[in-house]
Structure 1
């Protein structure tokens, strides 16, 4: 059986920017975790922070944060934490506990590792890295070609290839909606969609010989 790291070899130098290593996955699975006491807690300055429940009394919960701070909050201001195996998860819809702090932390941790693409169900969330990353190299385009969504890491190329494959099999028009605030990376990702289509069209299936009197569209 091929190891996950070996499967990622096709992505070249982009691999560590697309999926965490097998070593990191194993370490996360073996990390101690108490599901009953591990929570996210509302913080007055940092939005949400990770912590451990110390006590519960009269609708109030006392939490000790990872930074050593003690906070006492209402029950509705704590949120169950997902087990470590879900850290940097590629599709947030697969989380056991899906809520605002879990989503924010997952995006933050993936971004810290320069994994800028993350799925959320049918959506692909992109966080602008404001720097060049090798995730658009030619070998990356080829690695996504013909792959089902679940067979490769989150990427705008995967969204593009899925639309392309559905167009071929269903013979129906496809739409890709790219939305976000100013500076989110809409223009760049639109260019990447065009790059993907142009590349696979150039390296695609054998083209039929031109027939006299008929226009060829590729």
Structure 2
């Protein structure tokens, strides 16, 4: 695979509406909306990763597990300072009691930890109620404050959190969920350094971005 860690810089930040200059965010690939899986390696990875529970038991569902393993390997291979970080997955749109609950981001981190036990991840943030998935909604998408209002903290997991926090999600589009997570975590971890890491960002046009390391 050809995925590389790339920083959101001033050349592409404006494509992600809610991001500011003080929102350090990184991604591994570029996802092109309204294109099929065959369009790019990243499109294929993201579409496999997002396969819903309704596909379970069908022949193509195994590609979801392969996608989870692939992202875990990319994560462990790319990030050299993993022992200094605590990863916090963005909660899925559905609550744990929902039949459509999909913990793909946590599954990636769980798999990555088997590859490198130094990785620390915590499902610190949970949702009170299930919502419509962002990729399934074409209008009336909630803003960060509305998203944050549906969050609650699993305080039992707070102790021992490392100072450097990585908000981990699959696709960066407007940045509303990242912003909601950052604002919410600031209330409980005011001294932490917080950044975002995404499997992919949604590309709105052809552009170039510089490569950075999480340690910079």
Please report the TM-score for the alignment, with normalisation by the length of structure 2.
0.29
Structure with higher RCO (Cα < 8 A, 6+ apart): 2
Larger helix fraction of residues: 1
Output the TM-score relative to the length of structure 1: 0.29
